[in-house]
Chains A and B, each alone.
Chain A
Amino acid sequence: DIQMTQSPSSLSASVGDTVTITCRASRTISHYLNWYQQKPGKAPKALILAASSLQSGVPSRFRGSGSETEFNLTITRLQPEDFARYYCQQSFSTPPYTFGQGTTVEIK
């Protein structure tokens, strides 16, 4: 299986800050990396597919970058609704598709 490792596991930030979450794959996955946002009691929501393709309706303050084994999700000008848990997921190799362990973005 391809292991996905996110860092940090949690971070504290204020409204208006810029934060970056990193996701590393245990082997190269080209650009086959997706990002999801999950709020308590809700299903994950797709933010970015294929490393950098912003999904319809997702604010432009979310940006994905990277390739091969290292990827970033950057959120600029944090808004109150952005405080949530974020997951990366590789869509390169199956079975199985695998997820990172998640990063919680908390209000400072």
Chain B
Amino acid sequence: QVQLQESGPGLVKPSETLSLTCSVSGGSISRYYWTWIRQSPEKGLEWIGCVYHTGFTNYNPSLESRVSISLDTSKSQFSLRLNSLTAADTGVYYCATGEGGSGNFQYWGQGALVTVSS
């Protein structure tokens, strides 16, 4: 059973960069697509993007100019970087993964609340 755990700062200032890490246990990071999803009252659930173990990445076009997702197989972790933050980026950020394709999310972290505020 794959288990995921997000970590990172809960408060970030506007215009700065958010960095979150997801630690993976119970499964090999050298399979599956590794995904970030966020949730806010305004936008609901929003798929941010994913990374495959080959290094292939796929991003939401609405965020593509500001986002980067990377994989560290030696640490069984993957990371999200989102720059030029505004209040609209406030929300709960989840890491997720699943079987059967990049769009299936059977496994989720517990979520990390990120607030963008000065």
Query: A91 CA to B105 CA in the complex, in Å?
Result: 10
Query: A1 CA to B58 CA in the complex, in Å?
Result: 14
Q: How many residues on the B side are at the interface (Cβ–Cβ under 8 A)?
A: 25
**Contact for A44 among B45, B49, B102, CB less than 8 A:** B45
A-chain residues with CB within 8 Å of residue B106 when the two chains form the complex: 46, 49, 55
Which of the four size classes fits the interface of chain A? Answer: 20 to 34
Chain A nearest CB from B66 CB (Å) reads 14
Chain B nearest CB from A91 CB (Å) reads 3
Chain B nearest CB from A22 CB (Å) reads 17
A71 located at the interface, meaning its Cβ lies under 8 Å from any Cβ of chain B in the complex: no
Centre residue among A36, A50, A99, A102 by max chain B CB count within 10 A: A99
A90 located at the interface, meaning its Cβ lies under 8 Å from any Cβ of chain B in the complex: yes
**Contact for B105 among A32, A46, A50, A101, CB less than 8 A:** A46
Contact with A along B100-111 (1 / 0, CB 8 A): 111111101111
A-chain residues with CB within 8 Å of residue B96 when the two chains form the complex: 43
Chain A nearest CB from B87 CB (Å) reads 21
Given contacts A34-B104, A43-B109, A91-B103, contact A96 B61 (CB under 8 A): yes
**Contact for B47 among A45, A96, A102, CB less than 8 A:** A96
A-chain residues with CB within 8 Å of residue B58 when the two chains form the complex: 94-95
Taking Cβ atoms with an 8 Å cutoff, the residues of B that contact A are 44-47, 49, 58-62, 64, 94, 96, 98, 100-106, 108-111
